[in-house]
């Protein structure tokens, strides 16, 4: 298993674990009347689960298992795939920190951090397409 795949999958596990904790907090919020910031975590929960865990796991497995691109460059443009890893996780971290803050107390710092998170996540998705497209092929 290549190093980038291990990193994608292990970081995915971390996102999965954090999403489970956030999900549990959201469920406890009804009966326990937890602080207001807990309910602001709902979009973060969805994205930790579906982007941080599911999509990141898929990215790692695709990078590992899809057909080799060429003999010289079996896993295609690896730099682009590494760029995907960094932008995806930087974007998720920014939204984890700033999305609840912006929801509860809108301010310029949080707003522009979310703008940066949006650009990073789109860059992650598009760079992964660029890194993988040529590996989606027949024999």
Partner 1 sequence: MPRLSVWMVRAALLHLGFGFFLGGLILWQKGPGGIPGAWQWLPVHIHMVLMGWTVQLAFGVAYWILPRFAQREAEQGRVEQLRGREGLAWASFVLFNASTLTALAAPLGWAWALPISGILAALAGFAFVLHAWPRVKPFMA
Q: Which positions lie near partner 1, rule CB under 8 A? A: 50, 54-55, 58, 66-67, 95, 98-99, 102-103, 110-115, 117-119, 121-122, 124-126, 128-129, 132-133, 136-139
Q: Which residues contact 90 (CB under 8 A, 6 or more apart)?
A: 120
30 vs 76, beta carbon nearer partner 1:
76
Smallest Cα–Cα separation from 47: which of 1, 93, 116? 93
Least distance to partner 1 from the beta carbon of 35, Å?
A: 21
Least distance to partner 1 from the beta carbon of 23, Å?
A: 17
| Rounded distance between C-alpha atoms, residue 95 and residue 91, angstroms | 6
22 vs 49, beta carbon nearer partner 1:
49
Least distance to partner 1 from the beta carbon of 138, Å?
A: 6
Enclosing H/E stretch for 18:
helix 3-32
| Rounded distance between C-alpha atoms, residue 106 and residue 33, angstroms | 23
């Amino acid at each position: 298993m290549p190093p980038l795949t291990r990193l994608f999958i292990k970081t995915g596990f971390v996102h999965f674990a954090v999403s489970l904790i956030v999900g549990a907090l959201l469920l406890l919020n009804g009966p326990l009347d937890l602080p207001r910031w807990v309910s602001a975590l709902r979009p973060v929960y969805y994205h930790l689960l579906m982007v941080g865990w599911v999509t990141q796991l898929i990215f790692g497995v695709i990078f590992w298992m899809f057909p080799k691109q060429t003999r010289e460059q079996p896993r295609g443009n690896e730099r682009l795939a590494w760029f995907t890893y960094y932008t995806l996780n930087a974007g998720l971290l920014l939204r984890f920190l700033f999305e609840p803050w912006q929801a509860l107390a809108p301010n310029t710092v949080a707003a522009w951090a979310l703008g940066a998170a949006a650009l990073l996540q789109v860059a992650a998705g598009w760079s992964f397409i660029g890194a993988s497209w040529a590996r989606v092929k027949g024999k």
